[in-house]
Amino acid sequence: MVKRMLHCKRLVVKIGTSSLIHQNGKVNLQTIDRLAYTLAALTNQGYELVLVTSGAIGVGMAKLGVTVRPAEIAQQQALAAIGQSELMTLYTQRFSDYGAKIGQLLLTHDVFDYPQTRQHVLDTIDALLKRQVMPIINENDSVAVDELDHRTTFGDNDQLSALVAKQIGADLLVVLSDIDGLYDRDPNRHANAALIPAITHVSAKVLAGAGGSSTRFGTGGMVTKLKAAQVMMRAGKHMVLTSGRDPRIILRVVAGESVGTWFGAELEPVPSEIHATN
């Protein structure tokens, strides 16, 4: 197993709706439990973790038995209000099982547009991390809208996670998705599609070849993930895109294993025998 030299202390993990909600619309409790276990374990090892989570609307749909995401903004925001409460209840239960403490932050884009409010948010995150409390961040979907000059939406949580990671000086952003990484072509259409293990530059050609969201519950897609990677790379940091089917894969990422697609400057390869006892 090829491993990579990765020195990181502060990490941001982003998990998408497709990882939190089954195709039948039910909440994926196993994924939430494994996510809580993994992040709690890393916190116990001394890492500073921030979780950016999607899923409020999807959980709200599950709670009310809604099978089709409504087009009306007010209906989506109502589902988000219901789902956010349910989602945080699930996180509180699961993280508590592993002795971890969490806190919730709901953000809108204008918070980062103004220096004073941005600093307040960053100070809050720092204060939580110093107390070994994991911030769980989501966009405030119940109030965030793009209307005239009132810019509040991030557009998707891929962009939010990259912005948060950059602002708090995170060394690594791990994006958990419904795909194993970036492929040279759509793996759903081409059986011979090959996973790209590392990307040092997101070109216009790579962006043009990316598709949209693959589920009816999520809003993001490969383009938003590549843009998030660009934010991290421009900041001189790294991002890993990998499958969210089993969040315990984060432990392999932090251990330096070559899983998913790594974005950023080339990392120094480390002989696997050095880590044989890890």
Ligand-binding annotation for 205, yes or no, is: no
List of residues 6+ apart from 120 with CB closer than 8 A: none
DSSP characters over 56-89: HHHHHHHHHT--S--SSHHHHHHHHHHHHHHHHH
CB 242 within 8 A of CB 180: yes
Ligand-binding annotation for 222, yes or no, is: yes
Ligand-binding annotation for 53, yes or no, is: no
Ligand-binding annotation for 261, yes or no, is: no
Ligand-binding annotation for 220, yes or no, is: yes
CB 152 within 8 A of CB 145: yes
Ligand-binding annotation for 58, yes or no, is: no
Strand order in the sheet with 101-107: 101-107, 133-139, 48-53, 10-15, 172-177, 238-243, 261-263, 198-199
Q: What's CA 208's distance to the chain center, in Å?
A: 22
Ligand-binding annotation for 223, yes or no, is: yes
The token pair that represents 193 in the structure block: 């599609």
Ligand-binding annotation for 225, yes or no, is: yes
Separation CA 117–CA 175 (nearest Å): 26
Q: How far apart are the first and last CA of the chain?
A: 13
Ligand-binding annotation for 3, yes or no, is: no
Ligand-binding annotation for 141, yes or no, is: yes
Ligand-binding annotation for 177, yes or no, is: yes
Q: Between β-strands 198-199 and 172-177, what pairing exists: parallel, antiparallel or unpaired? A: unpaired
* 180 phi/psi in degrees, rounded to 5: -70, -15
Q: Between β-strands 150-151 and 146-147, what pairing exists: parallel, antiparallel or unpaired? A: antiparallel
- Please report, in range form, the residues annotated as the binding site for substrate: 54, 141, 157
- Please report, in range form, the residues annotated as the binding site for ATP: 14, 177-178, 219-225
- Please report, in range form, the residues annotated as the binding site: 14, 54, 141, 157, 177-178, 219-225
